[in-house]
Structure 1
Amino acid sequence: MTMFGKRKQQQGKPEWQEPTASTPPLKETAASGDDKPASDTAKAPSAPAKPTPRPDPSAVLNRQPAPPVRPDQFRRNGGQRQPGHGVQPAESKQLTVGRDIEVSGEIRSCDRLVVEGKVEADLSDSRVLEVAASGAFKGSAIIDIAEIAGRFDGDLIVRERLYLRSTGQVNGTIRYRGLEIESGGRIGGTLVELSEEEAQGAGGRGEDAPSTASPTVSQPTPLHQPPKAGAGTSRD
C-alpha cells in the first residue's frame, strides 16, 4: 500500500525536461508566488531634467529704463542739451507772430519773419518777410524776398523779388527788383522798379555810393606868424 502511495506521489510531480529550441524556457517567478515578471515590477528610469534656460543679456538691457538727466549735469554741459535725445534745435533768427498776437516796435537782424497776426513795426537788416493770409503788416520794411498773402500797408523795399499771392493786398510805396502777382492779388499806391545797382545799395546792404560833393582842403598854417600891427610888446 505504501509503495503504491509513493508511486502516486511521484506520478503527480512534473518531470523535468530539457529545454529545446521550440519550447521557451520557464520564467523565474518571485518567491512570494507573484506571476508578474520582474521586468514589470521594476520601476522605469526617470527622464533627465531639462536644463533651465538662461536669460538673454541683450533683452535684459533693452528693458532697462533710460537714466534721468540730472539738473547739475545739465548745468555742467553749459545749459545745452546733447543731440540725439529727440530735441531738435530751433531755426536760428526766425520770428513767428502767431494768430491773435500783436507786435509793435522795431525788428532787426531777422533771417525770416512770419506774420500770422498783426505787426506794426519798422523791419530792417532782414532777409525774408512772409505775411500769411490771416496776417497784417503796417510800417516799413527793407527786405530781400517778400511773400504777401495777407495785407501790407506802408513802405516796402524788396531787393530781389516780391511775390503777391491771390489773397494778398499791398498799399503804399513799393520798390522792387522783381515782381510776381497771382490772379486776385491787389496793389494800390506807387510802384517803382529798381535797377540792379539801386537794389544792391538799398537799405545799406550794398556798397555806399561815392559822394559827389567837392572835397574841402584846409589851408596850411605857417609856423612863424608875423606880429599884428598895434600889438603891444612886453617890457622887462
Structure 2
Amino acid sequence: MKSDQIENFPGMPASSPAKETPRKSPASTMRMMRAGSEDIVVGENSSLEGSFETQGSMFVDGHLTRADLKTSLLSIGTSGSVEGSASVSRAEIAGSFDGKLIVSGEVILRSSSHITGEIQCGKLISHRGATVKAHVAVVDDEVDPTYTTDEARPSRAIALQRKITPAFIRRATTFCYGVFCTLGTIGIVSLLSR
C-alpha cells in the first residue's frame, strides 16, 4: 500500500485521501531567547536583592531590596515594591518605589502607587490617588540615564561651540546680508510709494 492511500476498514465509511498537514517540530515552537534582550520577571512571592541589567523589560510583582536596576522598561505591579536605584527608559509604577529613579522618557504613576525618594524624568504622568513623597525633577529634554543628578553633564554651550565653524560663519553672514538687503529694499519701496 502506498503512503498516500488510506485503507478502508470494515464497518467504516469510505474516505478520500486526506491532505497531510506538516507538523511543526518541537524545536520550532520554542521561543528563542537572545542574549541582552531578555525580560526579567520577579514573581509575587519572590524577594530579591542586588543588581539587575537588561536591554529588555523588568516586571516586578514581588519585592526587590537594595536594588540597582538598569533596564529599558520598569513595570512595578500593585503587589510589587522596589527599594534602591533604577536607571530606565520608561517606568510604569502601580506598587511602591523607594529610592532614586532616573528615567529618560516618561514615568506613569498609577493610582495605587507609593513613591518616596527622588525621581528625575522627561515626562511625569500621575493618576489621581498616587502618593508621591519624593523630590521630583521633570526636565524638558530627555534625561540621559548614564548621568546621575550628582554628576556633571556636558553643557549646551560646549555643544554650540563645536557647531560654530568658519563655514558656518560664512553661510550665516551671507544669509544675514541677504535678509538685510531684502528688508532694506522693502523699506525704501514703502517710503517711495507714499
TM norm. shorter chain > 0.5:
yes
CA shift for structure 1 position 108? 1.6
Q: Once superposed, what is the RMSD of the aligned Cα atoms?
A: 3.2
Is 1:99 aligned to residue 44 of structure 2? yes
1:100-142: per-residue Cα shift (whole Å, max 9, x none)?
A: 1011011123421100100121112x21100000100010011
**Bigger RCO of structures 1 and 2 (CA < 8 A, at least 6 apart):** 2
* Equivalent in the alignment of 1:187: 132
Aligned twin of 1:57: 4
Residues 1:87 and 2:34 aligned together: no
Cross-structure match for 2:10 = none
Instruction: Write out per-residue CA displacement over residues 67-114 of structure 1, whole angstroms, 9 at most, x where no aligned residue.
Output: 9x9xxxxxxxxxxx731xx32335831000001101101112342110
Using the size of structure 2 for normalisation, the TM-score is: 0.60
For residue 113 of structure 2, what is the aligned residue in structure 1? 168
Q: Hey, what's the Cα distance between the residues in 1 that align with 2:109 and 2:33?
A: 28
- Structure 2 residue runs of 5 or longer lacking an equivalent are 8-16, 159-194
Match of 2:171 in 1: none
The change in CA–CA distance for 1:189 and 1:55 in structure 2 (over 3 A counts) is same
CA distance in structure 1 between the aligned counterparts of 2:134 and 2:61, rounded to whole angstroms? 24
Equivalence for 2:79: 134
Q: Report the number of matched residues.
A: 137
Tell me which residue corresponds to 1:34. none
Counterpart of 2:107, as a letter, is L
Work out the CA distance in 2 between the residues paired with 1:191 and 1:101.
29
CA contact (8 A) 1:95 1:110 kept: no
Distance 1:95 1:136 in 2: 15
| Larger relative helix fraction | 2
Unaligned runs of 5+ in 1: 1-53, 70-80, 213-236
Map of 2:14 onto structure 1: none
How high is the TM-score relative to the length of structure 1? Answer: 0.50
Distance 1:59 1:132, change over 3 A: farther
How many percent identity over aligned positions?
A: 25
1:123-176, Cα deviation, whole Å (9 max, x unpaired):
12x211000001000100111100000000001111100000011111111111
Report which of the two structures shows the higher radius of gyration computed on alpha carbons: 1
What is the rounded CA distance, in whole Å, between the counterparts of 2:6 and 2:109 in structure 1? 58
Matched, 1:122 2:68: yes
Amino acid at match of 2:106: R
